Amino acid sequence: GLMHGDTIHRLKIAKGHLDKVIRMVQNGDYCIDILTQSQAVQAALKKVDALILENHLKTCVADAVRGDKKDQAVAEVIKVFKKK
């Protein structure tokens, strides 16, 4: 679906940034430049996380709330954020 394509696109952006970080480290680039590029990887991955979570809330959680699994669905989402 549309969400799947956008997620793949954003993951490829993150991978591109990560590949650049690896090259920069291999080349001995300036540490601050490497950190800046690494932060771009992390920002891109956060956008992916947000997309995946949004999709989950709109689909799986919405279905769970209509059924009798609301507490389980909420607990799963909270568990993910407690890991951070």
The string of pLDDT tens digits covering residues 22-64 is 999 999 999 999 999 999 999 999 999 999 998 888 888 888 8
Prediction pTM value? 0.77
Examine the pLDDT at 84 and tell me if it is beyond 70: no
Q: Which stretches of 1-84 are DSSP H helices?
A: 2-27, 31-56, 62-66, 70-82
Cα 19 to Cα 64: distance, rounded to the nearest angstrom = 39
Q: What secondary structure letter does DSSP report for 61? A: I
Number of C-alpha atoms within 13 angstroms, CB side, residue 3? 12
